[in-house]
Structure 1
Amino acid sequence: MGASASDPSPLVLEVARRTGNGTVDPSDGHARWEVYRRAMDSPDEWDALLEIVGREPDPSIAMSVVLRMLERVPEAERTAWAERVPLEEKRSSALLRVRELRILEAARGAAAAERAPASDEVPEWSDWLQRRAAEESVSPEVLELLSQSGRTRRVRHVAAQRLRVLRRTR
């Protein structure tokens, strides 16, 4: 039985060889994940990995790879990664993450104070985005909003702590 155009096995084997995985069984999801993990750490393999993700038979594995890659690739490439997720339901989640990363990056940057979200936007953010913004934002406005209206106690606490530290250092 030959490999079909959608079978990732030949590509998985090529990437495994190039990343030092040696002999790998491409029918084993755990073995494929190890190949993908190594490829994610090697920017030279990202084009091959992008091709493989669209052929990955396990949608959860494909989604895990895409979510990790969205934080590694340049913003201009993120949508292409998200669109490779095979299931529409998971693809829409990946596209949401692309939008959330833009918000998070704005909150991380020095210009974040100029682009602070409106108070009614923060409750609409996902738990992931609220948690990451609370942990990483340098914007007093973002941290203030999260400390007051973050969805979880953890988000409110982390944002309040970081806001206190930020105010002491200014």
Structure 2
Amino acid sequence: MGLAFDRLAEALQIRTVDESDEHARWEVYRTAVSDEAMLDLLHEALREEPESALVSAVIVSVLERIDRTRRIKWVDILSDEHKVFASRRSAELGILEDFRSESISMTTVRDSIHGWSDWLQLKIAESVRIPDVLDCLSREGRTKRIRRIANESLRAV
């Protein structure tokens, strides 16, 4: 592995890592994701990480913990093969944030709901407390689970 990985492990006070084992590297990265102070070192280490699927998994975890203005920096280090999924997740996290700040219109909801992933529909059903949105999801959500959770959330609002 590279110097950035070594600096990351040292900063996390992880003494021994079998760097040839991607599962061991995953544990280092997973620990770093949860520590805001480690994100710059993590970013550097991921730029040197040879396993693109591992980089993608770590970055998707990071995207959920940072604000939208910082996400593109992370997505940009991905291979083209993994960039599509991470870009979509980044956009969907932005939509979820728009819901939480109530800055999304019902027209947008009706026009977009069928293009949203199951992941986004489920997150909205679980966390948004806007009755019209939950009603729409309870009727038009892609899966029975999404419709059920939206309906339960609607009753709780």
TM-score w.r.t. structure 1 length?
A: 0.86
Question: Does 1:97 pair with 2:57?
Answer: no
| Structure 2 unaligned blocks of 5 or more | none
Q: Structure 1 or 2: larger helix share?
A: 2
1:67-105 Cα deviation digits (max 9, x unpaired) = 1100111211001111111x2121111111111011111
Amino acid at match of 1:30: H
Deviation at 1:9, TM superposition (A): 2.7
Deviation at 1:24, TM superposition (A): 1.1
Contact preservation (8 Å) 1:82, 1:94: yes
Question: How far, CA to CA, are the matches of 1:64 and 1:120 in structure 2?
Answer: 30
Deviation at 1:40, TM superposition (A): 1.0
Question: Does 1:115 pair with 2:102?
Answer: no
Question: How far, CA to CA, are the matches of 1:118 and 1:22 in structure 2?
Answer: 49
Q: What fraction of aligned residue pairs are identical, expressed as a percent?
A: 37
Contact preservation (8 Å) 2:138, 2:147: yes
Q: Counterpart of 1:19?
A: 12
TM-score w.r.t. structure 2 length?
A: 0.92
Higher relative contact order (CA 8 A, sep 6+): 2
The count of aligned residue pairs is 156
1:5-48 Cα deviation digits (max 9, x unpaired) = xxx43211211111021111222101111111111122121011
Contact preservation (8 Å) 1:13, 1:26: no
| RMSD across aligned positions (CA) | 1.4
Amino acid at match of 2:45: I
Q: Counterpart of 1:84?
A: 77
Q: Counterpart of 1:135?
A: 126
**Which residue, 21, 46, 51 being the options, matches 1:53?**
46
Question: How far, CA to CA, are the matches of 2:33 and 2:54 in structure 1?
Answer: 13
Contact preservation (8 Å) 2:4, 2:45: yes
Deviation at 1:147, TM superposition (A): 0.6
1:142-165 Cα deviation digits (max 9, x unpaired) = 211111110000000000110011
Runs of 4+ that moved beyond 2 A? 114-118
